[in-house]
Each structure stands twice: as structure tokens, then as C-alpha cells.
Structure 1
Amino acid sequence: MAIAACALLVLCGYHSPVARFDARTDSAPSVHHLRVRPAMRARTPTMSGDLSAMSYRELQQACKERGLRASGKADELRERLMQALPSETAPVSKPAAPTPPAPKAVVDTWPVPSSADDAELLGSLALDDDLPMGDGTSAGNAGAIGRDASAAAALGDDSLLDELLSDLESDLDDPSGPLPPGRRYESYGMDESLADALASLDDLDGPLGSPAPRRGAPDPFADTIASLASAADASEGDTGAPLATDGFDEAWLEDLFGPVDEEPKPKPRAAGGGGAPRPAAGGAAGEHAKVLEMIGKWRRRSAPVDEAVYRAALVACAHEGAWEQGAELLNVLEDYGVMLQAVHFDAVLRACDRRTRWQESLGLLDRMKRSGLRPTARTFECVLRTCAKAKQPAMVGMLWDLMKEEQAKSPPLEVGAFTYNVLMRALAEGGDKGGRPADRLTGATQVLRAFDEGLSAGVIFDDSGYKHALRACDVSGEWRRALNILRMMREAGLAPDTLVYGNVMNACARDGRVQTVLQLLAQMRTEGLQPNAFCYNAAIGAASRAKRWLQAIDLMDDMEAEGVRLADPTLAPTKHTYTAVLRACAAGEQPRAAQKVLGRMLRKGAEPSAFDYGCVIDACARSGDVVLVMKLFTQMQERGLQPDAKTFTTALMACANANQLNRALSLIERMYKLEVLPDVATYNVLLQACERQDKFDIIERLIQQMPMLGVEPNLVNYNTGLRALCRGGEVTKARAMLGTMRERDVKPSFSTYRAAINGSCTGGHIDLAVSFLDEMKAEGFTPDEHVQFALLSSCGEEERPFLERSLAITPDGFV
């Protein structure tokens, strides 16, 4: 069982055993860091001997030689042997003569600790089967990259080991009868090729469960390897002569591991996936968990440190996300003088990737650099994915710069299309949908830079790379760039799919390129592609931005008819479809069309949102239908929808245009009751409504009380109020408002004086306008054409020469 566990470790590692440098001898390496002379194995006692004197292993060997099941308790094995040999009905009274001991193998083992303290430290490196996998915090677990480990389990004697093996074998008993040798490992859920390979090693029980050999003591692990090598040579017609110390042949081991040693190829992924290949499904996950369990037993029993076994365990850690165990295995390999390679670090980085341990990933990357190892493309892929999933865009940018530095070195780092796909996806995730629009735009810009960098480096992108770039064009609205990338994709021999066309169409829709979107829609059908809801919504969005409400409605009708014709419910108009059409009707000031679309939405079972009602209210407000606006407000409340500040502001605008100040004030009161805080735009509309009815007292009070109502007036609010007071000739109140502005640290600007002059001229108060003109010039502002026209068009013939001189008007025009 023990050597079978060893084989499972190597087999599940998906790497062929390769030669490794032996730091102790500086000579040619061997498969297991052991330089062995083969030795003959000791013969088991014959059946003529006393069965009661045979050990558990000897009983197992005797059962296997006779094709009997070798699992169960020792008494059960003796009973099977007694039944298989009727001629030997009674045990011999005298014990059989002891078999001469086998010649001992010449073994070079790893150096043992030189002191008791070192031995205690080495023992403390043993793993425990229940070691938690990444449950701690980043700060608390970052130390696992160092030298922390759990205490080693105590070792038992041979009798305890025999009992343990007996219990393990008993766990595999099948009530239906004995299992054939090749079926024993299938009960663990292993595939057929792995079970066959392990069944061929069924006779080698011992090295995994043996203690670490002391210097000068025989090594049972080396004896087993030597015996296996001798058996392989004998099967090939070898004379059985001892091999030279440095002549250990690895071919037999490679032939044995060949069918199950290579990493399984991932299943083909759907077009558009830019992430890492998914691990193979099925029994592989369970086998990796068994590998981690076995490496824990290997270390607790102080078995020799073998690079191939530990590398297989690192691969298992990568698949299971056991980053803490992987980091500790790195420490053990380094302590025993094994030269760490990038493949060792990459396995632990992949484990960190699975658990999103971005701080530990960066620590391992720094450790690689300090060890003199250059990061590989696989290294950057793992760390980039980890930082992207942890929402660390700054770290992603830093890793990108580091990757460019490695590409500039000699020899340069070879980066392929897959690595750039991972990079572009990491950059895009820095500005995902949940983030701010500015962050999304920044991420899209960086994705396009990475795409250009890859093209400059000669990278041949696959469809995933082009899709990342087109998605970035969609977010940034670079429709010309999107069309160019689509052309490049065709030139590269890659056929665009529906997702590609959808991204290109949406990029064009953001700029209102209706004709371009319709041409792409027709081109899709020509190439045999069926537009989906995303493509139709992009076309409707383009029509909405171009204020083509009729075209938006026609596209929605075509979309619905196409879904009925194909019996495809996914082509039915979605909530996004109705919202885009409602937005187009609002922009085109079409209240009746907006109401029809809203009614159609309700009949189809699509629940409208507050924004949808806001679009209909906007369309009605633009047409001045105040009654319909208030009716829609009532419908919203009946459906449990809360109007937002923008919807209230739109309704206030309708009331202001209809000179219904009282209704406007009631809407403001309703806003506060519903705990919807008005903004400066809401109060600006209310100030305009007061100006239309010459409510100058209300204007003054609103400006004074806005801070107490939770809204600080901005420059536009002051300009609106000042223009209204100057139009009404309220000089005192106008001057007081200018003083209030300065007290609140709002400095009057050129627009402030222009609003005061325009209001004064509109009200026929030319003297007040001239006074504000003098103040404007004193503040260093130069009157523009609008100020000039307002003053000269409202003054009389007596004031005109004076104003022309004040405005520096010449016969040729304004100076």
C-alpha cells in the first residue's frame, strides 16, 4: 500500500519523471535522489513452514503468489492459505529455518540533521491531513510563505504498521467476493489506466510507511527501488548483474508511467472564453485530494524527500487550491537543497489563484525574483488572474509593467496569445459593471493598449483576444476602432459570431450611428447569423440616441415578429428594449407614442421601472400636458414605484411651463414627504416658475432657505434669481443677493453680471443695467456680443452714444 501511494503521487502529478541535479554529490542525478545497487529480495517462507510464524506481509505475499485475495486480518489470510492447500492440513510443529537475509543495497540518502535541534525542526515540517486550505486572512496567512509547519506525528513500530495495513486492506473488502488485483484501486474512484498502473505495483508494500533512514542504516525505500529495477531488468533478459552506481536506468519507470503521466487535455471551450482552462471533471478532483492526504502521511513518517513526489503534490495543491500546503512544500524542498524551479512556484501560484490570495501571490513572485528565477508566462497568468479577481487594478498595472520589463530582457520572455487574453481580461475586470463609469472607461482604454502591444509584438490573437478588444471598444464608444478590428478579424481567418457583431453594433450605437448599425444587422443575416436580443437592442439604442422614435418602434416590431416566426422566446423584446424605445419617444416629444409603448409593456408582462415611467413623464412634460403628468405620478405610486429627483424635476418643468406655481410647490412638498431630496436642478426649475409669475419675494426666500433645506445654491441658482429680481426692478433685493453670494464664498462670474444686465434690460431698467456694466468692467470682464445687443436694443436714442462709448463701439463694430 505504501509504494502504491508513492506511485499515485507521481502519477497524478502529470509530469514525466526527469533527471534532477543532486546537490550532495554534484553527479548525474537519479529518479528518486537515490543511487542504488540492486539487491535480491528475501524469499518468503514456504507453505511447508508454520503459518503462525509468518508475518502479515509474508501472509499477503503467499496469498498473492496463489491468486488469493490478500486483504483482511492475518487470521483470515491464514485460513485462506489452509483451504488452498488441503495437503497441508496441519501446521508443522517446528518453525521453518530462517531465510538468509538479502544482500543490502548500497544507498546514498539525504543528509540527516546534525543535532537534536535540527531533528526537531525537521520533524516540525510534517503536514497534517486536516491542514486548513486558505481559511485565514491574507495578513495572517502570509507567513505560510515562510517556514511555518505543523508538528510531526509519532512513528509506530512494525507491528502497529502491520495492523494499520491490515485495517486499510479490510476497508476495501467487497461483500460480493474477492476483488481481482487490477480492481482494487477502482474502489477509490480512479480511472482504468491509473488503476492498472497501481495494480502492477501491488507487491511493493513498505517504503511509504517506513521511517526516514539514518546515515549508515539500510534504506527500505532504496531496497524496494533496487528490487523493482532488478525485476525490470530480468524481464528484459538481463543477467541480473549489479548495476553501476551511476547507471540506473529510468526507461522502465517512464514506460510504466507513460499512459497516465501526461496532463489530461482540457475540453474544448466555447468561443469567447478568455480565462484559464477548467480542470478536468470526474475522478481527477478526488485523486488530487488523495495525493494531498498521502503526502501528509509520507511526511509524518519521515520518508525521504523526493522531488518528483513533491512536485506531484504541488500539482495536487494547485488543483485543490491548497496554497498553504504548497508554500510549505516549497520550504521543505528548499531546506533539503533541491534547486527550486519556476514550475514549483507556478503550482503554488495557481493554488493562490483558486483561493484569490493576491497578497501571497505577490509574495511568491518576489521570492522567485530573489531566488534568481525569472517569471514565466504561466507565472504572470496566475498572478494577474488572482489580482483581477481580488479587484486590485493597481497591482494588475504593476504586473503588466513587470511583464514588459521581462519581455525587454535577453533572452526575452515569450508571451503568447493566451497570456495577453488573461492580461486584457484582468484589465477589463478593473472597471467592471459594478464600478464607476470613469473606471470602466480607464479599463477599456488599457485593454486596447494591451491589444496594440500584442499586435506590435507579433502575437497572433485568437477569437477571445479580438472579443476582449471589441468589448473595450463597446465600453469606450470607439466605433471606428471597432469596425477596424472586425476587419482585422476577418483578415486573420476568424469568422465573427453573434457576440462580435453585438459589440461592434453597440459601439456604433453609442454614437448614434443608426445606418451603420442597420448595415451590420443586414450583414449578419447575409453570413447566416441570427441576430439576438443584444443586437436588436443595440440597433434600437442607436435609433434612440439619434431621436428616431419611429425607427426604434419599427425595430422593436421586427424583433417581436422574428421571435414569433422562429418560436424563440429569447428574441422577445426585453425590458432594455422597451426602455430604449421609451427614451426615443421622450427625446422626440411624443407623449402618445410613449403611452402606447408603456401599455404594450404592461400587456406583455414586463414590469416597468421608475425610469420607464420617468421617460413617459418626460415626453408628456415636454408637450405641456400637466394633467397626464400627475396621472402618471399616481400610477407610479399605485405600483409601489418611487419617483426620483429627476422625475420630480421633469414634472416641475411641466408645471412651470404651464404657469402652475401652486402645483409646483405641492410637488416640492411631496418630495420631502417621500424623503426624496431635491437637488439644485429641481430648485432652479422652481425659481423659473416663480419668475414667470413675478413672485420675487418667494425667490428671495428660496435662495435664503435652500441651505436649511439641505441644498446649497450654486452659481446657476444665483444667476436665475438675480436675473428675475433685476427684471422686476428689485434693486435692493438684487444687491442683497450679490452680498449673500459673497458671504457664502460664491464669487460672481461673467455669467452673473450678464444675467443681471439681461434681466435689467428685459424689464426696461437701463440705469440698473448700466450700473452692472460698470461693475462687470471693474471686475475685469469684457462685455461680449450678447451684453452689447441687450444694452443697445433696450436703450433710447439719448443713452445710445454713451453706451457706445462705454462699450467701445466703433463704426466697424465691437472692439
Structure 2
Amino acid sequence: MRKRLFNSLLSYSKSLHFPPRNPQLNRIIFQFISTSSPANLDGLIDPDDPFPLQNNPRVEPVSAQDFAFLSSDSGTSTKQKVNARKFSLDAVLIANTILSDNGELWYRTQIFLRQFRGSINEKLVVEVLNLVKMKPDLAVKFFIWAGKQSGYSHTVNVINSLLDLLESGNDDPIPEKFLLEIRDDDEVILKKLLNLLIGKYCKNGLWNMALEELGRLKDFGYKPSRVTYCALVQVFLQADRLDTAHLVYGEMSDAGFRMDGYTLRCYAYSLCRTGQWREALALIEKEEFKVDTALYTKMISGLCEASLFEEAMDFLNRMRADSCVPDVVTYRVLLCGCLNKGQLDMCKIILNIMIAEGCYPSLGIFNSLVHAYCRSGDYSFAYKLLKKMVKCGCQPGHVAYNKLISSICGNEELPSSDVLELAENAYSKMLADGVVLNKINVSNFSRCLCSVGKFEKACKIIHEMMRKGFIPDTSTYSKVIAHLCNASKVENAFLLFEEMKKNGVVPDVRTYTILIDSFCKVGLIEQARNWFDEMVKGGCAPNVVTYTALIHAYLKARKVSKADELFEMMLSKGCIPNVVTYTALIDGHCKAGQIEKACQIFARMQTNAEIPDVDLYFKEVDNEAKTPNVYTYGALVDGLCKVYKVKEAHELLEGMSASGCKPNRVVFGALIDGFCKAGKLDEAQEVFSEMLEHGYDPNTFIYSSLMNRLFKDKRMDLALKVLFKMLENSCTPDVIIYTEMIDGLCKSGKTDEAYKLMLMMEEKGCYPNVVTYTAMIDGFGKAGKIDKGLELLEQMGSKGCAPDS
């Protein structure tokens, strides 16, 4: 018997008829067993014992990890080790006893549990339930047993622990057999358990499962509690199922329950959110609830959600009428509601009211307001908000300042002077507060200042930010340098560029290109070339814009050979020329009289035969980069016409149209002028007609070319018609054209017509010069009209036009 007793203790069967009453003895035995190796147990196990722990395949004791603390050989006490695992030793002993039960010997387990009746409390029961959660049927038996013990009753925490282990985790309901087992023992506990289960599902937003459990609660013959009804109302409100919430509330009201304050606030909010604020007031009256600030605030929030802003403002008056004073939360809810709906005018009203009553927006709300007014373009009020922030003791930080300045200066469209002044004032304040602009805003702010000529201030901002620890990046320097160059402040740009390198900021290709292009435009080609060589030496590869800027500068300075050298270098480096590059070269060579070279470049542009692997290159380049445009054709047409190769120029015009490139007025004008100078008036007239067909009106240059040809051909009648047509089209002839026409008419003996033209010339605001008077006087003399000639000579002197000798 003693051997059997010892074996039973070792196997945790807890089947003793006389269990030891000394808990300390239990701990000693348990410790002994836990620290003994399996080999030491040989011979101690009774083969006839029907309940050995080791031989029972249905037993699932607590895992070895749960008892890892017992295998330690350290000098700490068992109590300390148990606390470290957050489970008491009593809980472990009870759990192992329960887990060793095979489902048929629960009465023996209860005999063992008797020794713990005086120790049963909420903490111990919860621990045991957590340890035996893998055996829900045994957990329910222990739960029922514990509930019967004197001086103990199940708490909410205990019931929730049981619910946690009974839930399968796959959205299936708790097996009804467990509920029936609990009901058979204690109906009150089952009712409490089901109410808590419904509340748990509601808390997790599982309204469909909550409804199922509500049905089961009623099937058992129980009624939901007030807390359960409130939880159901809340979950349906959260799910936007207002109709269902109303049905639940009706049932709740019929059961004689009233909502708690929180549920009522949620219900009133949902009604107001759907525009049913009158129903919300009726509900409050029905519930006989004493309205307070929190309830009104919740309703105001709902009204703002429904965009009922006038009603929301009216509720402020209702609050005061009900002796409820709006607090800072009320105003913030109202302000944020209007802000979220874009009611910025209403926000101004609310802001003034709340500040007057000593309620202030938070820093986050202020920042949001600044952002909203900046986005709407109301920079003036956004700036006023910064002042209000200071007045309210809410110091603006970098968010508010940067937002205002970035909104004003961050767009491509430049701000007006008064708006830019707001940015400058905000910058001064933020500088005094020790706040730093971010890199993007430094760049944009400086750019805007440069655009209005405040170059020194732009540079000063960069230096001030550097003293604050801000290091400008390449982009910031580049933008300011670009605006300095665009304003012809190349000296300032040069100094800033040198400062940039001194500060260790490496210029990129964009920075170099800006400087090279700007210095080229003002004729400082050598300095531009030095920077070009510097960037190449420093490993910064020039791009097509860099090359083109320098090539164009060489061509403009008539240094054609240097332009050609740079072009060849460009090709050898694999930098693909674009249409601007080719057009500049063609135009430059044409103006230098090197028409054949210009034609060769034009051919190269179309074939690109000189560029290695050109097809591979141009896969990465838009086809427009290598396709001649109207300016390319115009330059070459003009060049060909100037050397009287008008036939080739006309063929080029035809090829231009065939390629889909529509000629412009400049191209037509160059070809008309070429034909006129070559004496081919008929061809010039054909091109003139073609130009009109394309929808272009002739300009002064084109008319002048035609009339000059007509003068030389002594076709004065036709030249006069062209002149009048020119005037009809609002093209004003210059004094040279008038003079040539007057001289031609006089030489043709048409002195009266010439004199009328001279008078008309003056009416048009083009005053005769000494050549004009001389031609007219000479015409009168040859026509025998000496008196008129003398009269005109006196008139000439009176108008300050002294006759030559």
C-alpha cells in the first residue's frame, strides 16, 4: 500500500483516498519528482497501478517548458522560481492533476482538490484555467467545482478566462454541451457568462456573432442585461446599422432599461451624423438624461460630419441655455469639423469666439489651419494665424513657418509683391525664434527674392541658414545662381559659385551649365571655357546643353573653327547633339559665308553617320533631337539665298514641307528676298502666294523685298499697289521704302503722285529725311515746277532738315 501510495504521488494521479494535508509536503514531493531523472524511477512504478502518468497516453500534462524552472540547480528558492514563471505552485499542481484525469475519474480528482478549497481565489482559478486550456472539458469541470467552494464566487475575469479557452478561434460558437453543463450546475453563472460573451463580441466589432449569442441567451430563457443591451447598441452604431441599433434600443426600453451616458452620447452622435438632430433631442428627453457638455460636444461633432454647420453653431446657444459651458474640447471638435469639410470662413468665426472665451486650438490644429488657408491662397490670414498662435501661448514651430513660406514660394508662378512680403515677415519671425527653413524652402524663397531683384537678401538668407547649421545643397545653390544669371548679375553668380565650392558643395552639370551659358551670353567666353575645362577635369561630364551653349557662343563671336572643334569633341564623347546644336552650327556657318560647310552639317544631322553606334544612342533620344525643325531649315534657306543659290533654297523648302515641317513666315521671307535679289520676281510672287495659302500675312521685310525688286525693274505702278497693300495690312513702311518709292515716281514723271505719297508718309508718322526731300525737289525741277521745288526747299529748312550742299 505504501509503495502504491508513493507511485501514485509520483504519477500525479491524485487518486489518494487520504491526500496529504500539508502543502509543504506536496511541494517537497513535487520538487523531488521534478528533479529526479527517469532512470531513478525504475522499480518505483507499480505495474498494476491503473493510473500511472507515464503510461497513460490520454494524459496531457503541462509541457516541459512550463516546468523548466524546476530543473535549475541554482540556490534560489522554489517560490522565487514559480514567481518567475507567473504561475503559482498550487496552480501547477492543480493543473497537472486535472490534466491527468482521463475523463472518468473526476471524483478522484475532486478528492485531491479538497486540500485547496481554502486557497481558491480569482487569481488561482484564472491561472489553472490558463494552464489547462488544451482540455476545455476538464476546464469546465474545474470551473464548476471552484464555483461551489465556500467563500468564493466567479468574477468577470474568471468567466472571461473560461470564455477565452472555450472559443475555438475559427468563429464557431461555443459548444452547447459546455453551456448546458454550466447551466445544470448554476443558471445564474450561465446567464452572466452569455451576457459577457455578447459584450465581448460587441467590443471586437463582431455584431453578427453577438446576435447569434443573443438568440442563444433567449433560447435558454434568459434576458439580456442593461450592459449587454448597451454593448449591442454601440456595436450597431459603429457598424453604421442605425436601424438595427434602434430595434435593439426599443427592446431595451421595453425591458425597462435606460442607456448609460456613453451609449447615449454615441446614439445621439449617430443620429446627428445622419441629420436627425431633432430625433437625438427627443431621445435624450425620453431617456430623462441630464444634458452635459460632453453630450452636446458629441452631437456637434455629428452635425459637422453631416455638414450642418449652422445647426452646429446653434447648438452652442443650446448649450448655454441648458447651463452647459462649451469647453476647449467642444470648440476644437467644432473647429476641426468645419476644417475637415473645408468651411474656412466658418473656421474664422469659431476661432475668434473660442479665443475670446479663453479656449485655444492645439499646435496640431493651428498647423492644420495654416496649411488649409495656404492651400486656399489666403496667405494673409495664414500669416495672422502665426500671430494668433503666439498670442495663445502656442509658439509656431518649423511646420507652420515652412508651410507658409513654401506655399507662397513653392509654385512656378511668382507671388505678388505684397504676398512675398508676408513670406519675408514670416521669415524674420522664424529667424528670431531660432527656426530653420528646410532646403527646399531656402531654395524656393531665394528664387522668389531673386525674381524681384532682391539678390542680396537671397544670398543673405542662405548665409543666415548656414549659421543655423543649414548646409545648402547643390540644388539650392544652382537655383539662386540661375536667377542671378538671368538677371545679368553674373558677378554675384560667380561669387556664389566660388563660395559653393569653398563650402565643399560639389557643383553638378546643371550648375556648371547655368554659369557657362550665362557667361557666354554676356560675351565672357574665355571664362565660360575655363569652367567647361574645369568640369571635365573634375569628372563632371558636360551634357548637350553645356556643349551647345559654348558652341553657340563661339559661332556668335565668329570663332567658327573653335565651334567645330568643340562639336567634334562632343561627338567623340558620345554626347548626342540635339536640334538646337545643329541649328546653331548651320546658322553660324551660314552667317560666316561657309554655306557648303553648313550643308554638310545639315546632312550629318540627318544621317548622324559620324557618331559611333548612333542607332544605339538614339534609342535613348527623342527623334525630334535629330530632326531638323523650322529654325534649322530657316537658317539654311537664308544662307543659301544670301549666296544666290535660290534654286537650292527653294528645293529645300519643298523638302521641308514634304517632311511634315511647316514653313513659317521667316522661311518664306528669306526665300522671297532671295528670289527678289536674284531678279526672279515671278518666282518670288509664287512663294508669296504659297505663304498666303499657309495662312501667314506678309511682314514689313517681305513687302520691302518685293518693292525693292519692283523699283529696280522700274515697275512703279505695281510697287505702289504693294505699298498700299502693305498699309492695309498694318505694316508700316520705313523712311527708306517711302523715299525709294517717291524717287521712283519722280523719275517716272509722276511728281504729283510722289508728292501725295510724301504727305501721306508724314500722316503715317514717318517723317521725310534729307534724301526724301532731295528726291522730291529734284523731281519738281525736272518737271519744270520750280516754284513747288523752292517751296519744298523752304519747308525742308523750317522742319530742321538742312539740305546738303
Q: For this structure pair, what is the TM-score category when the shorter chain's length is used for normalisation?
A: 0.5 to 0.7
Q: Counterparts in 2 of 1:361-400, with a 5 A limit?
A: 361=342, 363-366=343-346, 369=349, 396=377, 399-400=378-379
Alpha-carbon distance in 1 for matches of 2:735, 2:689: 20
Query: Closer, same or farther in 2 for the Cα pair 1:208/1:347, shift >3 Å?
Result: farther
Give yes or no for contact 1:680–1:717 (8 Å, CA) kept in 2.
no
Partner of residue 61 from structure 1, selected from 154, 157, 177: 157
Alpha-carbon distance in 2 for matches of 1:463, 1:160: 55
Instruction: Please tell me whether residue 425 in structure 1 is matched to residue 406 in structure 2.
Output: yes
Partner of residue 594 from structure 1, selected from 563, 582, 589: 563
Alpha-carbon distance in 2 for matches of 1:307, 1:70: 42
Partner residue, 1:695 = 680
TM-score (norm 1): 0.54
Aligned residue type for 1:463: L
Query: Closer, same or farther in 2 for the Cα pair 1:528/1:166, shift >3 Å?
Result: closer
Partner residue, 1:576 = 545
Alpha-carbon distance in 2 for matches of 1:808, 1:711: 43
Instruction: Please tell me whether residue 454 in structure 1 is matched to residue 423 in structure 2.
Output: no
Partner residue, 2:448 = 472
Query: Closer, same or farther in 2 for the Cα pair 1:774/1:67, shift >3 Å?
Result: closer
Alpha-carbon distance in 2 for matches of 1:402, 1:494: 29
Instruction: Please tell me whether residue 585 in structure 1 is matched to residue 570 in structure 2.
Output: no
Structure 1: gaps spanning 5 or more residues: 1-40, 53-57, 83-89, 102-155, 172-203, 226-291, 318-323, 353-359, 390-394, 432-439, 564-570
Aligned residue type for 2:157: Q
Aligned residue type for 2:546: T
Partner residue, 1:95 = 186
Query: Cα distance, 1:510 vs. partner?
Result: 1.7
Q: Deviations for 1:643-692, whole angstroms, at most 9, x for unmatched residues?
A: 22222221122113222211222222222212222222222322332343
Alpha-carbon distance in 1 for matches of 2:431, 2:423: 9
Aligned residue type for 2:586: I
SS of the residue corresponding to residue 643 of structure 1 reads coil
Structure 2: gaps spanning 5 or more residues: 1-121, 127-139, 149-153, 210-226, 235-244, 278-282, 320-325, 356-360, 609-622, 783-788
Query: Closer, same or farther in 2 for the Cα pair 1:310/1:409, shift >3 Å?
Result: closer
Partner residue, 1:718 = 703
Query: Cα distance, 1:169 vs. partner?
Result: 13
Query: Closer, same or farther in 2 for the Cα pair 1:657/1:511, shift >3 Å?
Result: farther
Q: Deviations for 1:301-332, whole angstroms, at most 9, x for unmatched residues?
A: x99999999999999x9xxxxxx979699999
Q: Percent identity?
A: 16
SS of the residue corresponding to residue 807 of structure 1 reads helix
TM-score (norm 2): 0.55
Instruction: Please tell me whether residue 646 in structure 1 is matched to residue 631 in structure 2.
Output: yes
Give yes or no for contact 1:467–1:500 (8 Å, CA) kept in 2.
yes
Q: Counterparts in 2 of 1:170-319, with a 5 A limit?
A: 209-211=232-234, 217-219=257-259
SS of the residue corresponding to residue 186 of structure 2 reads coil
Aligned residue type for 1:62: V
Partner of residue 499 from structure 2, selected from 496, 518, 523: 523
Give yes or no for contact 1:549–1:581 (8 Å, CA) kept in 2.
yes
Alpha-carbon distance in 1 for matches of 2:379, 2:593: 56
Structure in which a larger fraction of residues adopt helix: 2
Alpha-carbon distance in 1 for matches of 2:257, 2:712: 109
Give yes or no for contact 1:420–1:454 (8 Å, CA) kept in 2.
yes
Alpha-carbon distance in 2 for matches of 1:620, 1:311: 80
SS of the residue corresponding to residue 774 of structure 1 reads helix
Q: Deviations for 1:54-94, whole angstroms, at most 9, x for unmatched residues?
A: xxxx8973265699757546999899999xxxxxxx96954
Q: Counterparts in 2 of 1:669-748, with a 5 A limit?
A: 669-726=654-711, 728-744=713-729, 746=730
Instruction: Please tell me whether residue 606 in structure 1 is matched to residue 575 in structure 2.
Output: yes
Partner residue, 1:805 = 794
Partner of residue 632 from structure 1, selected from 594, 597, 601: 601
Aligned residue type for 1:422: K
Query: Cα distance, 1:430 vs. partner?
Result: 4.6
Query: Cα distance, 1:737 vs. partner?
Result: 1.0
Alpha-carbon distance in 1 for matches of 2:527, 2:388: 56
Q: Deviations for 1:114-134, whole angstroms, at most 9, x for unmatched residues?
A: xxxxxxxxxxxxxxxxxxxxx
Q: CA RMSD in A?
A: 6.0
Instruction: Please tell me whether residue 776 in structure 1 is matched to residue 761 in structure 2.
Output: yes
Query: Closer, same or farther in 2 for the Cα pair 1:724/1:516, shift >3 Å?
Result: farther
Residue-pair matches, total: 562
Give yes or no for contact 2:402–2:437 (8 Å, CA) kept in 1.
no
Q: Deviations for 1:451-501, whole angstroms, at most 9, x for unmatched residues?
A: 334357786473345432212245567645544554665677755443333
Alpha-carbon distance in 2 for matches of 1:444, 1:559: 38
Give yes or no for contact 2:373–2:379 (8 Å, CA) kept in 1.
no
Question: Which of structures 1 and 2 has the larger relative contact order (alpha carbons within 8 angstroms, sep 6+)?
Answer: 1
Query: Cα distance, 1:220 vs. partner?
Result: 5.3
Alpha-carbon distance in 2 for matches of 1:430, 1:334: 40
Give yes or no for contact 1:594–1:619 (8 Å, CA) kept in 2.
no
Give yes or no for contact 2:703–2:726 (8 Å, CA) kept in 1.
yes
Partner of residue 738 from structure 2, selected from 747, 756, 760: 756
Query: Closer, same or farther in 2 for the Cα pair 1:627/1:374, shift >3 Å?
Result: farther
User: Quick check: 536-545 or 765-774, which moved more?
Assistant: 765-774
Partner residue, 1:143 = none
Give yes or no for contact 1:482–1:507 (8 Å, CA) kept in 2.
no
Query: Closer, same or farther in 2 for the Cα pair 1:59/1:426, shift >3 Å?
Result: same
Give yes or no for contact 2:673–2:705 (8 Å, CA) kept in 1.
yes
Aligned residue type for 1:808: G
Partner residue, 1:463 = 437
User: Quick check: 672-681 or 721-730, which moved more?
Assistant: 721-730
Alpha-carbon distance in 2 for matches of 1:485, 1:763: 68
SS of the residue corresponding to residue 808 of structure 1 reads helix
Give yes or no for contact 1:652–1:686 (8 Å, CA) kept in 2.
yes
Instruction: Please tell me whether residue 623 in structure 1 is matched to residue 714 in structure 2.
Output: no
Query: Cα distance, 1:608 vs. partner?
Result: 2.5
Query: Cα distance, 1:757 vs. partner?
Result: 1.6
Give yes or no for contact 1:723–1:756 (8 Å, CA) kept in 2.
no
Alpha-carbon distance in 1 for matches of 2:673, 2:372: 54
Q: Counterparts in 2 of 1:20-35, with a 5 A limit?
A: none
Partner residue, 1:356 = none
Give yes or no for contact 2:570–2:576 (8 Å, CA) kept in 1.
yes
Query: Cα distance, 1:540 vs. partner?
Result: 1.0
Alpha-carbon distance in 2 for matches of 1:545, 1:729: 45
Give yes or no for contact 2:481–2:514 (8 Å, CA) kept in 1.
yes
Query: Cα distance, 1:755 vs. partner?
Result: 2.7
Query: Cα distance, 1:763 vs. partner?
Result: 12
Query: Closer, same or farther in 2 for the Cα pair 1:551/1:762, shift >3 Å?
Result: farther
SS of the residue corresponding to residue 517 of structure 1 reads helix
Partner residue, 2:477 = 501
Query: Closer, same or farther in 2 for the Cα pair 1:93/1:217, shift >3 Å?
Result: closer
Aligned residue type for 1:551: Q
Partner residue, 1:286 = none
Give yes or no for contact 1:549–1:585 (8 Å, CA) kept in 2.
yes
Query: Closer, same or farther in 2 for the Cα pair 1:486/1:159, shift >3 Å?
Result: closer
Alpha-carbon distance in 2 for matches of 1:533, 1:210: 67
Query: Closer, same or farther in 2 for the Cα pair 1:657/1:222, shift >3 Å?
Result: closer
Query: Closer, same or farther in 2 for the Cα pair 1:346/1:573, shift >3 Å?
Result: farther
Query: Cα distance, 1:345 vs. partner?
Result: 6.5
